[in-house]
Structure 1
Amino acid sequence: MSDDIKATGGKPRQTRTGLTSTGARKASAKSTRSRAREFALQALYQYLVGRNDATAIDEFTRDLAGFHKADAAHYDALLHGAIESAESLDALIVPLLDRKLEEISPIEHAVMWIGVYEFQNCLDVPWRVVLNECIELAKEFGGTDGHKYVNAVLNGLAPKLRAAEVEADRATGKARS
């Protein structure tokens, strides 16, 4: 009997479509917007860590393998929108932090920028999708429990930035109070 079958009490493990053996999403299962968020995260990380010029970061990122599979317009909006509104994004994030912004990982910081920017400017993306996508980014690229921190901050901002949508979900039982 294989170890997989032993580990599941004699039953073969079910494979989940679109996930790798570790539970991460397979690249082929990612939407063009998910890919855009990943590239924007990488670019925003370069901006936060190296304070590189946004145009240079943009040019570099567009040359990365797989960029052609991303939603370029969404990537543009996230990268340039987050950089241009960094001060106002941070002003919303900081009150929900339990430490100084400088102590936040640049990955989690960039993911929070993406989430807050999408809450404010991408109203065609449901707030729960924004939250879930950001949690997945933090899980995939951030520290061990970074996704929990991102979740707490963005979940705290959602009722303020998407009040009607969050309230409608609460009324139907789709969102926790």
Structure 2
Amino acid sequence: MSTPEIPNSPNASDSSSSPSPAKRPRQSRSGLTDTGVRKAAAKSDRSRAREFALQALYQHLVGRNEAEAIDSFTRDLAGFHKADSVHYDALLHGCIEQSAELDALIVPLLDRKLEEISPVERAVMWIGVYEMRNCLDVPWRVVLNECIELAKEFGGTDGHKYVNGILNGLAPNLRAAEVQSDKAGKVGKTNTD
């Protein structure tokens, strides 16, 4: 029995090489890169708005740049035209204007000083808390998932886990009825299955 040839493998172009065990090509999940991050083509206009808002908020946190200057710079970046600019505006300006309130909600759940939190994770948490408080058309689970994706793509190695823990801890206070409804729905499904 001969070894099946895999396209782009040494066996495919060189039949004289010694046979090696067939390797199955890695199956990718649709819309995700090999690191589990969503591919650009699979992102919604709101997801793109969150990415640009994250980059802008990072500039605010690290460079202490003013919102208007950050906004002008960010709108000139490649791909901005594919983002939901209204949502981006709400996130950028809303997070900066409400930064003290957002921090006040986040701080009680932290296991370290706020200054020790990465600016990326802090900005992602600002986006999550802002959306939970002000964007009631976005379900809390969507907010949570979007923020986890942002932290995976732009943050440190386990930053997404930290963001998940903080936002999950805040959700029952910020979206009490919605979280309660989700929990009741899960219990109902578990009991009937």
Task: Mark yes or no: TM-score above 0.5.
Answer: yes
Q: Is structure 2 residue 90 aligned with structure 1 residue 82?
A: no
Residue type at the aligned position of 1:49: V
Quote how far apart the aligned CAs of 1:10 are: 6.2
Gaps of at least 5 residues in structure 2 are: 10-21, 188-193
Residues 55-94 of structure 1 show CA distances to partners (whole Å, capped at 9, x for unaligned) of 0000000000000000000000000000000000000000
Quote how far apart the aligned CAs of 1:25 are: 1.1
- Between the aligned partners of 1:36 and 1:90, the Cα distance in structure 2 is 22
Residues 125-163 of structure 1 show CA distances to partners (whole Å, capped at 9, x for unaligned) of 000000000000000000000001100000000000000
For these two proteins, the number of residue pairs brought into alignment is 169
Name the structure 2 match of 1:28: 41
**Which residue of 109, 119, 124 corresponds with 1:111?**
124
- Between the aligned partners of 2:50 and 2:133, the Cα distance in structure 1 is 15
User: What is the root-mean-square deviation in Å for CA atoms of aligned residues?
Assistant: 1.6
Normalization by structure 2: what TM-score?
Answer: 0.84
Residue type at the aligned position of 2:70: I
Quote how far apart the aligned CAs of 1:173 are: 1.1
**Which residue of 163, 166, 169 corresponds with 2:179?**
166
**Which residue of 108, 127, 131 corresponds with 1:95?**
108
Gaps of at least 5 residues in structure 1 are: 4-8
Residue type at the aligned position of 1:52: N
**Which residue of 145, 151, 164 corresponds with 2:164?**
151
Residue type at the aligned position of 1:104: I
Name the structure 1 match of 2:28: 15
Normalization by structure 1: what TM-score?
Answer: 0.91
Name the structure 1 match of 2:13: none
Name the structure 1 match of 2:151: 138
Residue type at the aligned position of 2:95: A
Residue type at the aligned position of 1:17: S
